């Protein structure tokens, strides 16, 4: 029997119990980036959030198929009808092929996500690789009477789809009333949106179609690719709140009009990132790329910072806030190192069905963690449960009646699953196996020299060794039993 998961469905604006379309499986599609620039901290929040959600579904036993697109064509800088393709704009400026821009920033994106500990999606389909399918979907919509061609453009006729506006809570009348005057006259209704766009002379990224050379409209790729890999009706569609309208609204219209079936069961939207209280924008100069952030902070610290707030809450990025998160995370790492020392060579197998309650009540902390995660992926709550446990563990270790190596090993593995495997906030293998390297032998050599100096009460020399090591990023810690351990920071 699986854990019951509740999630906030944007479509109904309330928390709902999760029932998969197919027993034991979860199909999830998340809107990916348009690769024309380096990813910023907002992408970080979005994809870290969904990464944690996917990891949690897998943890409770679902077989997850996670699809996230790469948009490598089609978005315009201005509005739906004017302006340049963002990718082409960059390409023209640098006088290179648009696909070079795409490759450069797609690699940059995956590199940043890897560093954030984001597990790669199972499928990362690209829009340009699915032009044929997009044309097919457009043809189908025309055939079914939901779309019309006008001068090489194809538009979706919003008036044919009464449900339009349900997701975003908008009404077509309001949209039309408040809309800017549409300069183009070939639309039947200003709210209609493009499925296929005619390529003007000089437009580089173009494909032949029944309506002449052109390129797909903005929303079409997500409908096409999500249904291709997940089926016409699937479980979860995620994305940033800023995409709720018009993007997701249009996806629903296109998809349901084409298939006559419900498109997505649960819509999940993550909230936005602000920097020092205001939205990121290039004009304000407060645009923080992930690569910028990683210069100041460990990527896992950035991840931890993101997960310390709820995915549906806005997140305000500031150096102070991330720094504070990093110090908190150090506590977790310290405890893990202590447990590893106590565990020695032993490794614990975690049986979540029968967790011990003594000397540390692992069962209780697990239940708290699980309840938080199952309640709309409340990662801050889950982290709080882990930190309560840390205090408990520290007290136990410090009390003298040290826990057995078996229990330390079990506890280590236990935290490794909750914080490491699911939340992804523990450093991965390389950092944790300090092991027997020439580096650690050398540090131990200095520890020995310092120990001799201390025995001779030459504290000046002892402190000098310690501070020299510290300046190299090696922190020494004298234990009660007279031994000295070290940790390497940064």
Residues in 98-137 that interact with RNA by CB under 7 A: none
Element (H, E) at 266: strand 264-270
Among 189, 274, 405, 440, binds RNA (CB under 7 A): 274
Question: For residues 232 and 261, is the Cβ–Cβ distance under 8 A?
Answer: yes
Report the alpha-carbon distance of residue 411 to residue 416 in Å, rounded.
Answer: 8
Among 134, 209, 309, 411, binds RNA (CB under 7 A): 309
Looking at the DSSP assignment, which residues form a beta bridge with residue 488?
Answer: 474
Question: Vertex 147, ends 143 and 148: CA angle to 5°?
Answer: 95
Enter the tokens of residue 15: 């928390």
CB of 192 to RNA, least distance (A): 11
The one-character DSSP state at 40 is B
Question: Vertex 420, ends 418 and 421: CA angle to 5°?
Answer: 75
Q: Which of residues 39-58 bind RNA (CB under 7 A)?
A: 40, 42-43, 45-46
Q: Is 184 among the residues that bind RNA (CB under 7 A)?
A: no
Q: Which residues of 152-191 are buried (b: 16+ CB within 10 A; e: fewer)?
A: bbbbbbbebbeebbebbebebeebeeeeeebeeeebebeb
> Cβ contacts of residue 137 below 8 Å, gap of 6+?
195, 220, 223, 224, 254, 258
Q: Is 316 among the residues that bind RNA (CB under 7 A)?
A: yes
Q: Is 288 among the residues that bind RNA (CB under 7 A)?
A: no
Question: Which of the stretches 36-44, 128-136, 403-411, 440-448 binds RNA when contact is defined by CB under 7 A?
Answer: 36-44
Q: Is 216 among the residues that bind RNA (CB under 7 A)?
A: no
Among 26, 87, 127, 383, binds RNA (CB under 7 A): 383
Binding mask 222-261 for RNA (x = CB under 7 A): -----------------xxxxxxxxx--------------
Q: Which of residues 397-456 bind RNA (CB under 7 A)?
A: 397-398, 454
Q: Is 307 among the residues that bind RNA (CB under 7 A)?
A: no
Report the alpha-carbon distance of residue 85 to residue 73 in Å, rounded.
Answer: 7
Binding mask 154-183 for RNA (x = CB under 7 A): --------------xxx---xx--xxx---
Q: Which residue, 63 or 279, is less far from RNA as judged by CB?
A: 279
Name residue, tokens 């975003």. Answer: 168
Q: Which of residues 323-352 bind RNA (CB under 7 A)?
A: 323-325, 327-328, 330-331, 334
The torsion angle over the Cα atoms of residues 155, 197, 33 and 60, rounded to 10 degrees, is: 40
User: Count of CB atoms within 10 A of residue 139's CB?
Assistant: 18
Q: Is 394 among the residues that bind RNA (CB under 7 A)?
A: yes
Question: Which of the stretches 34-42, 59-67, 156-164, 415-423 binds RNA when contact is defined by CB under 7 A?
Answer: 34-42
Question: Which of the stretches 116-124, 227-235, 266-274, 357-365 binds RNA when contact is defined by CB under 7 A?
Answer: 266-274
Q: Is 299 among the residues that bind RNA (CB under 7 A)?
A: no
Q: Is 489 among the residues that bind RNA (CB under 7 A)?
A: no
């Amino acid at each position: 029997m699986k854990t019951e998961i509740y999630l906030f469905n944007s479509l109904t604006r309330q928390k709902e119990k999760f029932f998969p379309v197919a027993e034991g499986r979860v199909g999830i599609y998340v809107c990916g980036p348009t690769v024309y620039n380096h990813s910023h901290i907002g992408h970080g929040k979005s994809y870290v959030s969904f990464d944690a959600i996917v990891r949690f579904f897998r943890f409770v036993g679902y077989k997850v198929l996670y699809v996230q697109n790469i948009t490598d064509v089609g978005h315009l800088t201005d509005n739906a009808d004017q302006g340049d393709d963002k990718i082409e704009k960059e390409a023209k400026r640098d006088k290179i092929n648009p696909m070079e821009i795409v490759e450069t920033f797609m690699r940059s994106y995956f590199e940043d996500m890897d560093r954030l500990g984001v597990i790669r999606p199972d499928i990362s389909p690209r829009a340009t690789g699915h032009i044929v399918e997009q044309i097919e979907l457009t043809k189908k919509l025309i055939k079914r009477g939901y779309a019309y061609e006008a001068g090489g453009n194809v538009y979706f006729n919003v008036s044919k789809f009464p449900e339009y506006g349900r997701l975003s809570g908008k009404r077509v009348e309001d949209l039309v009333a408040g809309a800017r005057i549409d300069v183009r006259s070939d639309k039947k209704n200003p709210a209609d949106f493009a499925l296929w766009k005619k390529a003007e002379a000089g437009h580089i990224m173009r494909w032949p179609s029944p309506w002449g050379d052109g390129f797909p409209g903005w929303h079409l790729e997500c409908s096409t690719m999500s249904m291709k890999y997940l089926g016409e009706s699937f479980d979860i569609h995620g994305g940033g709140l800023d995409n709720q309208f018009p993007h997701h609204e249009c996806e629903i219209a296109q998809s349901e009009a084409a298939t006559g079936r419900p498109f997505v069961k649960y819509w999940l939207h993550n909230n936005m990132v602000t920097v020092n209280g205001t939205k990121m924008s290039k004009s304000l100069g407060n645009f923080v790329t992930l690569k910028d952030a990683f210069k100041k902070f460990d990527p896992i610290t950035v991840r931890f910072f993101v997960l310390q707030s709820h995915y549906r809450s806005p997140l305000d990025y500031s150096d102070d806030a991330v720094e504070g998160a990093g110090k908190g995370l150090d506590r977790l790492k310290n405890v893990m190192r202590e447990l590893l020392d106590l565990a020695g060579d032993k490794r614990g197998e975690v049986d979540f069905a029968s967790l011990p309650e003594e000397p540390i009540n692992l069962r209780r902390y697990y239940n708290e963690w699980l309840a938080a995660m199952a309640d709309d992926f409340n990662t801050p709550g889950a982290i709080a449960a882990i930190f309560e446990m840390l205090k408990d563990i520290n007290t136990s270790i410090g009390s003298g009646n040290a826990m057995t190596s078996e229990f330390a090993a079990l506890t280590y593995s236990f935290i490794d699953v909750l914080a490491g495997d699911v939340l992804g906030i523990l450093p991965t293998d390389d950092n944790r196996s300090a092991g027997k390297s020439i580096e650690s032998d050398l540090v131990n050599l200095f520890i020995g020299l310092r120990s001799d100096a201390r025995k001779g009460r030459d504290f000046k020399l002892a402190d000098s060794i310690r501070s020299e090591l510290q300046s190299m990023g090696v922190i020494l810690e004298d234990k009660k039993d007279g031994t000295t351990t070290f940790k390497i920071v940064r």
